[in-house]
Amino acid sequence: MSAAAKRDVGLSKDALLKQYRKRLKDDVRSMSDNLSEIVKLCRIEDETQVVTATTAEDYALEMQVRASNMVRAGESLMKLVSDLKQYLILNDFPSVNEAIAENSNLFKDTQASCDRKLTDMRDEMATDLYELEEEYYSSSYK
């Protein structure tokens, strides 16, 4: 891989990680801000305050919207975790290279074992064939 290609991969990796950090901060901030606003709506400011039905409905609607925003941020965080897992699995080159090396060594050992067995079989067959030829040519029935 050329130096320019490595630099491009590094830049894209850094950019992707920065994007993940930004998503994390934004989603956590969204959850925190919406929860703070819901708590503020629940606070009773004056004991003698009479809340009209429309104000109560307005507060209830705002709470639902903020709760929906919190759910959306939570789902976004779950998607972020999934993306991070996928990124780790796909870009964990040392582990992938180690697994490839292990498989390569296993296959080389298997190949060497098969080669030894075939060589032994060839030698046994050559010996048996030699004995059969000896028997045939020394036989009185030919």
pLDDT single digits (tens) 16-33: 889 999 999 999 999 999
Angle CA 87–93–96, to nearest 5: 105
* Mean of per-residue pLDDT scores for the chain: 84
Specify the amino acid at residue 134. Answer: E
pLDDT confidence bin for 49, thresholds 50/70/90: low
Q: pTM of the prediction?
A: 0.52
* pLDDT over 90 (residue 90): no
Question: What would the mean pLDDT of 123-132 be, rounded to a whole number?
Answer: 93
Question: What would the mean pLDDT of 54-81 be, rounded to a whole number?
Answer: 91
Burial 23-52, CB ≥16 within 10 A → b, else e: beeebeebbeebeeebeeeeeeeeeeeeee
> Could you identify the residue written with the tokens 């048996």?
128
Q: Where are the domains of the chain?
A: 1-91, 97-142
- Closest to 27 (Cα-Cα) out of 67, 70, 56, 85: 70
Token pair for residue 62? 């705002």
| Residues sharing a CB contact under 8 Å with residue 142, sequence separation 6 or more, in sequence order | 136
Beta carbons of 80 and 23 less than 8 angstroms apart: yes
